[in-house]
Amino acid sequence: MKDFIFHNPTKIVFGKGKISTLGEEVSKTSKKVLLVYGRGSIKRNGVYDQVVDSLKSYNVEFVELPDVKPNPVLSKVHEGINLARKEQVDGIIAIGGGSTIDSSKTIAAGFYYDGDIWDAFRGKYKAEESLPIYVVLTISATGSEMNGGAVITNEETKQKYSFWSVKSYPRVSVLDPTVQFSLPPIQTANGAADAISHVLELYFDGTQNVQILDELSEGIVRTVMDSTNILMKNPTDYDARANLVWSATLALNGINGTGRSGGDWSSHAIEHSLSALYDIAHGSGLAIVMPAWMKYVHREDVKKFARFANRVFGIDESDREKAATMGIERLKDWYKSIGLPVSLSDVNISAEDIDKIVENAAARAPFGKLKKLQRSDVKEILKFCL
Amino acid sequence: MKDFIFHNPTKIVFGKGKISTLGEEVSKTSKKVLLVYGRGSIKRNGVYDQVVDSLKSYNVEFVELPDVKPNPVLSKVHEGINLARKEQVDGIIAIGGGSTIDSSKTIAAGFYYDGDIWDAFRGKYKAEESLPIYVVLTISATGSEMNGGAVITNEETKQKYSFWSVKSYPRVSVLDPTVQFSLPPIQTANGAADAISHVLELYFDGTQNVQILDELSEGIVRTVMDSTNILMKNPTDYDARANLVWSATLALNGINGTGRSGGDWSSHAIEHSLSALYDIAHGSGLAIVMPAWMKYVHREDVKKFARFANRVFGIDESDREKAATMGIERLKDWYKSIGLPVSLSDVNISAEDIDKIVENAAARAPFGKLKKLQRSDVKEILKFCL
């Protein structure tokens, strides 16, 4: 087990009807906040009204930044920073999933930075100040509601990059599973694939002798799968939804990463190029890329891939190579079973497009922990995705 | 899954040699601290010197409260409060396990309270102020290094009670697994039994449909057992020690308790009477009481007890009653295998003593979540312990 520091100060308020507690929490630090949200679903499902009612009862003023889109972009962040400064807000509330939370984190850090906050993503600025951030989660996927990370796409340069800061942990995140009852099944499925990918990026980073973390990882994957299977048939099953919501948060709140070597993150690096160039959903992109990456690298730690097959799918692991391969196929089959694409052709990307994706992804190569990937490796993995 | 709030602000610094970071952390809040520790092992194994060196290099002054004993007592806490006030310290460092940490938490809260801090244990005072608390953990067992709870024995009234406060979470806890290399095997075993008991108190509280928490619970139990088995043969196996250390912390840092009904805690209530009256180690007491409690109540949720048997010992769970019974026996056998007592006769307590233990424990009856226990139930469970 590797050395680590674990410190996660986010307060989680979990359960039905808990959005009503938001106003009191926010009023502890803020008098006027920026509400950041997406393209209107929160107005249809009642979440917006619940937030506004709670803020009003604690006399918290607010201005609004709507229309944050999936694969959120830097220009929208700039708009948010300008608005936050003009209106002199002293806090930000993200109402949504990873896109709105990550946009909010970036606005909250950019508020205090004189340069272009993109500097934080390209490693030229360490975000050490931030407005207080609050979250009302409406889709479980990224885990951003309980960590200090954010991913943003610079649409001019077509780069989808991330930053992380100890100052960017939300103060409070409200997780009401019932607000996800109305999600289209494909969004639940995308979220599930994203959560599983976070576990596997950490799990398959080559670190040995971390039983407690492996146990936790395998337990999250099993729970995400079992809960998603139930939700595909009955999207309003409360306990299945609650298990999925909390599992997706635990998948990337830091605990699962303790004692490891930081995770591999190659699949994310490649997928980010895919979604930056083609605007496909991150979860769908991961369902395509991750099994291909697993197939390409599994011989680097075949024992662990066999263990995964055994613990998640009950496959006999005595023949490790066989078990590893079967486990990867079963994962792919499962993605298919919940309606996700598992090949580039499923999302209408053909062999001729591969060079363009390689070009974008390889700008940061080499990357990866289990196997350091060069440009040529990325190309081979993408060929496995066809 | 039940609603919950999760908020754990403790920073964990984990790894070999990390005690050297303590001075810098402490200096963020404190100029002069009270060092609380036990009966000298830290002077023999070098931990004391590491702490003092680190404090000196950050100019943190200190005074000392040595000789805290296992099953820590209220009179020692009073002595600590008086010393802390007289010396006007502004922080406390616990160097040790649950006994020193819990004493430190109580001193830190008592420092600000005009009455007798025992009031916090008997529910007459809500501890809302505390000196900042830092921990250097030297034995993994109670999880107190990452939660807000404390257990103290009032030796006058022979009551072993607990209190919990949001203000009592340590700021920083340093977990260096190598400092536990020199523990006598029986202490490692006691710690393992304590950690497992925390998982099981939560696991068997009757809450249904909490798969992610059950998975986490079962993973912790398997890891504690596997790691302890290795350590009984080789106490200096770093990875086994590290897995045990982190598992014991995760067993009671709050995550495992989310979504549940608060835990059962009957076995703890009964064991606290045992250790208050006979001063046996808490872990040993739990190894005696917990299987007896499980046997007595398992029909209240036989499905869950069968699941436990299956997930932890690989027992076929198709016949639930049989599986449940076998699982309990296997747990008892495991305790025996690591040198723990599993009956009252193993610790020289006889049938004639039972009424005295019942008398002490029943003062707080009825208690328990899975089954509400009356005085008569406590007596039956103690008979199972003979």
The reply to whether B233 and B350 lie within a common domain is yes
- Is A4 among the domain residues? no
pLDDT at A284: 97
Longest CA pairwise span in chain B (Å): 64
Half-sphere exposure of B289 (CA within 13 A, CB side): 31
For residue B16, the domain's CATH number is 3.40.50.1970
Distance CA B186, CA B183 (A): 8
Q: Which of A179, A205, A240 is the last residue of a domain?
A: A179
For residue A370, the domain's CATH number is 1.20.1090.10
- List, as ranges, residues 10-69 from A with C-beta within 8 Å of B: 10-16, 18
Residues on chain B touching A255 (C-beta within 8 angstroms): 250, 255
The reply to whether A364 and A233 lie within a common domain is yes
The reply to whether A153 and A188 lie within a common domain is no
- Is A2 among the domain residues? no
Half-sphere exposure of A361 (CA within 13 A, CB side): 31
- Is the Cβ of B314 closer than 8 Å to some Cβ of chain A? no
- Is B2 among the domain residues? no
Distance CA B217, CA B82 (A): 40
Q: What are phi and psi of B37, to 5 degrees?
A: -150, 180
The reply to whether A168 and A269 lie within a common domain is no
Q: Which of A179, A210, A240 is the last residue of a domain?
A: A179
Residues on chain A touching B4 (C-beta within 8 angstroms): 12, 14-15
pLDDT at B262: 96
Closest Cα in chain A, distance from residue B247 (Å): 6
Q: Cβ of A9 and B12 within 8 Å?
A: no
The reply to whether B81 and B148 lie within a common domain is yes
Q: Cβ of A1 and B246 within 8 Å?
A: yes
Q: Three-state DSSP class for B208?
A: coil
Residue of A nearest to B174 (CA): A5
What parts of chain B have a pLDDT lower than 70?
A: none
Instruction: Specify whether the CB–CB gap between B223 and A209 falls below 8 A.
Output: no
User: Which of A6, A241, A310 should one mutate to test binding to chain B, selecting the residue with the greatest count of B CBs within 10 A?
Assistant: A6
Any idea of the CA torsion for B142, B143, B146, B148, to the nearest 10 degrees? -50
The reply to whether B227 and B248 lie within a common domain is yes
- Is B195 among the domain residues? yes
- Is A125 among the domain residues? yes
- Is B3 among the domain residues? no
The reply to whether B45 and B175 lie within a common domain is yes
The reply to whether A157 and A221 lie within a common domain is no
What parts of chain A have a pLDDT lower than 70?
A: none
Reported ipTM: 0.97
pLDDT at A364: 85
Token pair recorded at residue A330: 């079963």
Percentage of residues in chain B having pLDDT higher than 90: 97
- Is A6 among the domain residues? no
The reply to whether B228 and B361 lie within a common domain is yes
The reply to whether B235 and B377 lie within a common domain is yes
CA distances from B37 to A348, B14, B48, B93 (A): 66, 20, 9, 9
- Is the Cβ of A166 closer than 8 Å to some Cβ of chain B? no
What would the 3-class secondary structure string for A40-68 be? CHHHHCCHHHHHHHHHHHCCCEEEEECCC
The reply to whether A358 and A213 lie within a common domain is yes
Candidates B104, B23, B87, B91; CA nearest to B57 is: B23
The set of residues, in sequence order, having a beta carbon less than 8 Å from that of A229 and lying 6+ positions away, is A338
Residues on chain A touching B212 (C-beta within 8 angstroms): 219-220, 223, 243, 246-247, 250
CA distances from A375 to A99, A269, A271, A379 (A): 28, 12, 14, 6
Domain count, chain B: 2
Q: Cβ of B6: how many Cβ atoms within 10 Å?
A: 22
pLDDT at A276: 87
Q: Cβ of A209 and B11 within 8 Å?
A: no
CA B27 to chain centre: 28
Percentage of residues in chain B having pLDDT higher than 70: 100
Distance CA B39, CA B18 (A): 23
Closest Cα in chain B, distance from residue A7 (Å): 4
pLDDT at A229: 98
Residues on chain A touching B242 (C-beta within 8 angstroms): 1, 259
pLDDT at A36: 98
pLDDT at A299: 98
Which residue segment(s) compose the domain that B214 sits in?
A: 183-384
Q: Which of A129, A145, A179 is the last residue of a domain?
A: A179
Token pair recorded at residue B208: 């249904």
The reply to whether A41 and A170 lie within a common domain is yes
Q: Cβ of A366: how many Cβ atoms within 10 Å?
A: 13
Residues on chain B touching A220 (C-beta within 8 angstroms): 212, 215
- Is B1 among the domain residues? no
